[in-house]
Protein backbone atom coordinates (compact mmCIF):
# COMPACT_ATOMS: atom_id res chain seq x y z
CA UNK A 1 0.00 0.00 0.00
CA UNK A 2 1.41 3.42 -0.94
CA UNK A 3 2.64 5.49 1.98
CA UNK A 4 3.83 8.70 0.31
CA UNK A 5 5.71 10.06 -2.65
CA UNK A 6 9.28 11.16 -1.96
CA UNK A 7 11.87 12.88 -4.10
CA UNK A 8 15.26 11.32 -4.73
CA UNK A 9 17.11 13.66 -7.04
CA UNK A 10 14.92 14.36 -10.03
CA UNK A 11 13.36 10.90 -9.96
CA UNK A 12 9.95 10.41 -8.46
CA UNK A 13 9.97 7.44 -6.13
CA UNK A 14 7.12 5.74 -4.36
CA UNK A 15 7.73 4.82 -0.75
CA UNK A 16 5.55 1.85 0.15
CA UNK A 17 5.02 -0.24 3.23
CA UNK A 18 5.77 -3.89 2.70
CA UNK A 19 3.45 -6.52 4.12
CA UNK A 20 6.30 -7.87 6.25
CA UNK A 21 6.79 -5.74 9.35
CA UNK A 22 5.84 -2.36 7.90
CA UNK A 23 9.36 -1.84 6.50
CA UNK A 24 9.63 1.03 4.04
CA UNK A 25 10.86 0.18 0.57
CA UNK A 26 11.55 2.44 -2.39
CA UNK A 27 10.61 1.66 -5.97
CA UNK A 28 11.85 4.01 -8.70
CA UNK A 29 9.41 5.14 -11.35
CA UNK A 30 9.92 7.66 -14.13
CA UNK A 31 11.62 11.04 -13.94
CA UNK A 32 9.01 13.64 -13.07
CA UNK A 33 9.64 17.40 -12.78
CA UNK A 34 9.53 18.70 -9.19
CA UNK A 35 6.58 21.02 -9.85
CA UNK A 36 4.55 18.04 -11.08
CA UNK A 37 5.46 16.14 -7.92
CA UNK A 38 4.39 19.14 -5.81
CA UNK A 39 1.12 19.36 -7.70
CA UNK A 40 0.43 15.67 -7.10
CA UNK A 41 1.31 15.76 -3.40
CA UNK A 42 -0.37 19.06 -2.55
CA UNK A 43 -3.36 18.30 -4.74
CA UNK A 44 -4.04 15.33 -2.46
CA UNK A 45 -3.02 16.96 0.82
CA UNK A 46 -4.08 20.60 0.69
CA UNK A 47 -3.07 21.59 4.21
CA UNK A 48 0.08 23.42 3.10
CA UNK A 49 0.01 26.79 1.41
CA UNK A 50 3.02 27.79 -0.69
CA UNK A 51 4.54 31.15 -1.68
CA UNK A 52 7.71 32.28 -3.44
CA UNK A 53 10.07 35.25 -3.29
CA UNK A 54 12.33 35.58 -6.30
CA UNK A 55 15.15 37.84 -7.33
CA UNK A 56 17.57 36.30 -9.84
CA UNK A 57 14.99 33.83 -11.20
CA UNK A 58 12.59 36.67 -11.99
CA UNK A 59 9.37 34.73 -11.53
CA UNK A 60 10.48 31.48 -13.16
CA UNK A 61 9.78 29.42 -10.02
CA UNK A 62 6.23 30.78 -9.74
CA UNK A 63 5.71 30.25 -13.47
CA UNK A 64 6.69 26.59 -13.25
CA UNK A 65 4.32 26.04 -10.31
CA UNK A 66 1.38 27.89 -11.85
CA UNK A 67 1.80 26.22 -15.24
CA UNK A 68 0.01 23.21 -13.76
CA UNK A 69 -3.75 23.00 -13.45
CA UNK A 70 -4.75 22.66 -9.82
CA UNK A 71 -1.87 24.65 -8.37
CA UNK A 72 -4.32 27.30 -7.14
CA UNK A 73 -5.30 24.82 -4.42
CA UNK A 74 -1.98 25.39 -2.63
CA UNK A 75 -0.02 28.21 -4.32
CA UNK A 76 -0.89 31.63 -2.90
CA UNK A 77 1.46 33.88 -4.81
CA UNK A 78 4.91 35.24 -5.33
CA UNK A 79 6.93 38.42 -5.19
CA UNK A 80 9.69 39.26 -7.64
CA UNK A 81 11.92 41.52 -5.54
CA UNK A 82 14.80 42.37 -7.83
CA UNK A 83 15.94 45.65 -6.26
CA UNK A 84 17.18 45.85 -2.68
CA UNK A 85 14.41 48.35 -1.95
CA UNK A 86 11.82 45.74 -2.98
CA UNK A 87 13.48 43.11 -0.81
CA UNK A 88 13.35 45.55 2.10
CA UNK A 89 9.90 47.06 1.52
CA UNK A 90 7.93 44.06 0.23
CA UNK A 91 9.63 41.17 2.04
CA UNK A 92 10.97 42.86 5.16
CA UNK A 93 14.62 41.98 4.55
CA UNK A 94 16.46 43.92 7.27
CA UNK A 95 18.54 46.87 6.10
CA UNK A 96 21.56 45.60 8.06
CA UNK A 97 21.43 42.29 6.13
CA UNK A 98 21.45 44.13 2.80
CA UNK A 99 24.23 46.51 3.90
CA UNK A 100 26.47 44.05 5.75
CA UNK A 101 25.98 40.76 3.91
CA UNK A 102 24.43 41.89 0.66
CA UNK A 103 21.43 40.77 -1.34
CA UNK A 104 23.31 37.68 -2.48
CA UNK A 105 23.72 35.97 0.88
CA UNK A 106 22.43 33.22 3.11
CA UNK A 107 20.80 35.73 5.47
CA UNK A 108 19.02 37.55 2.64
CA UNK A 109 17.67 34.31 1.13
CA UNK A 110 16.30 33.23 4.51
CA UNK A 111 14.79 36.67 5.18
CA UNK A 112 13.15 36.67 1.73
CA UNK A 113 11.57 33.26 2.35
CA UNK A 114 10.38 34.34 5.80
CA UNK A 115 9.00 37.54 4.28
CA UNK A 116 7.06 35.59 1.65
CA UNK A 117 5.50 33.46 4.39
CA UNK A 118 4.45 36.61 6.25
CA UNK A 119 3.25 38.50 3.17
CA UNK A 120 1.04 35.67 1.94
CA UNK A 121 0.21 33.83 5.15
CA UNK A 122 1.96 30.78 3.67
CA UNK A 123 3.15 27.69 5.50
CA UNK A 124 6.15 27.19 3.23
CA UNK A 125 8.08 29.61 1.03
CA UNK A 126 11.08 29.39 -1.24
CA UNK A 127 13.37 32.29 -2.17
CA UNK A 128 16.06 32.81 -4.78
CA UNK A 129 18.73 35.49 -4.82
CA UNK A 130 21.93 35.46 -6.82
CA UNK A 131 24.02 36.69 -9.70
CA UNK A 132 22.78 35.33 -13.02
CA UNK A 133 25.31 37.30 -15.09
CA UNK A 134 26.88 38.02 -17.38
CA UNK A 135 28.02 40.97 -15.24
CA UNK A 136 27.76 41.75 -11.56
CA UNK A 137 30.07 39.09 -10.20
CA UNK A 138 33.08 39.67 -7.96
CA UNK A 139 35.89 37.46 -6.69
CA UNK A 140 33.92 36.82 -3.50
CA UNK A 141 30.54 36.50 -5.22
CA UNK A 142 31.05 35.24 -8.78
CA UNK A 143 28.50 35.02 -11.57
CA UNK A 144 26.42 31.89 -11.05
CA UNK A 145 26.32 32.15 -7.25
CA UNK A 146 22.73 31.65 -6.08
CA UNK A 147 21.34 31.31 -2.57
CA UNK A 148 18.10 29.38 -2.17
CA UNK A 149 16.21 29.99 1.04
CA UNK A 150 13.29 28.06 2.47
CA UNK A 151 10.99 28.90 5.36
CA UNK A 152 8.54 26.54 7.02
CA UNK A 153 7.05 25.94 10.46
CA UNK A 154 10.33 24.18 11.33
CA UNK A 155 12.37 27.34 10.68
CA UNK A 156 14.40 28.70 7.81
CA UNK A 157 17.61 27.76 6.07
CA UNK A 158 19.51 28.64 2.92
CA UNK A 159 22.00 26.91 0.70
CA UNK A 160 24.59 28.37 -1.65
CA UNK A 161 24.96 27.03 -5.18
CA UNK A 162 27.46 27.84 -7.91
CA UNK A 163 25.85 27.26 -11.31
CA UNK A 164 27.89 27.26 -14.54
CA UNK A 165 26.89 28.70 -17.87
CA UNK A 166 25.31 31.81 -19.27
CA UNK A 167 22.45 33.81 -17.74
CA UNK A 168 19.76 31.49 -19.07
CA UNK A 169 21.57 28.39 -17.78
CA UNK A 170 22.01 29.92 -14.31
CA UNK A 171 18.34 30.91 -14.09
CA UNK A 172 17.20 27.49 -15.31
CA UNK A 173 19.45 25.63 -12.86
CA UNK A 174 18.46 27.90 -9.96
CA UNK A 175 14.77 27.43 -10.75
CA UNK A 176 15.08 23.63 -10.85
CA UNK A 177 17.12 23.57 -7.64
CA UNK A 178 14.64 25.86 -5.88
CA UNK A 179 11.73 23.63 -6.89
CA UNK A 180 13.57 20.58 -5.57
CA UNK A 181 14.31 22.42 -2.29
CA UNK A 182 10.63 23.34 -2.05
CA UNK A 183 9.64 19.73 -2.67
CA UNK A 184 12.03 18.52 0.05
CA UNK A 185 10.62 21.06 2.50
CA UNK A 186 7.04 20.04 1.70
CA UNK A 187 7.97 16.40 2.39
CA UNK A 188 9.54 17.40 5.71
CA UNK A 189 6.38 19.29 6.69
CA UNK A 190 4.13 16.37 5.76
CA UNK A 191 6.39 13.91 7.60
CA UNK A 192 6.25 16.08 10.75
CA UNK A 193 2.46 16.38 10.70
Poorest-confidence range of 10-19, 65-74, 152-161? Answer: 10-19
Q: Is pLDDT of 7 > 80?
A: no
Poorest-confidence range of 29-33, 68-72, 73-77, 184-188? Answer: 29-33
CATH 3.90.950.20 region(s) of the chain? 33-192
- pLDDT value, residue 42: 81
The whole-number average pLDDT for the span 94-102 is: 98
What H or E segment, with its residue span, contains residue 127?
strand 124-130
User: Does CATH number 3.40.50.300 belong to domain 33-192?
Assistant: no
- pLDDT value, residue 1: 30
Q: Other CB atoms closer than 10 Å to residue 75's CB: what's the count?
A: 22
Contact 146, 131 (CB under 8 A): yes
The whole-number average pLDDT for the span 99-123 is: 98
Q: How far apart are CA 91 and CA 113, in angstroms?
A: 8
Helices (H) and strands (E) in the chain, counts: 6, 8
Q: Is pLDDT of 177 > 70?
A: yes
How would residue 17 be classed by pLDDT, with cut points 50, 70 and 90? very low
SS3 at position 134: coil
Residue 162 CA from chain centroid, whole number: 16
Q: Is pLDDT of 9 > 50?
A: no
- pLDDT value, residue 45: 67
| CB burial string 114-151: b at 16+ within 10 A, e below | bbbbebbebbbbbbbbbbbbeeebeeebebbbbbbbbb
Radius of gyration of the chain (CA): 17
Summary mean pLDDT of the chain: 86
Amino acid sequence: MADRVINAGNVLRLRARSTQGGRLITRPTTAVPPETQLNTILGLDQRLRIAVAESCTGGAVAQRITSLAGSSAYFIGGIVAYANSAKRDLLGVPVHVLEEEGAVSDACAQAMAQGACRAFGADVAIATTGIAGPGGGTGRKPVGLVYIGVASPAGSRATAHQFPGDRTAVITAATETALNALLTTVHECIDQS
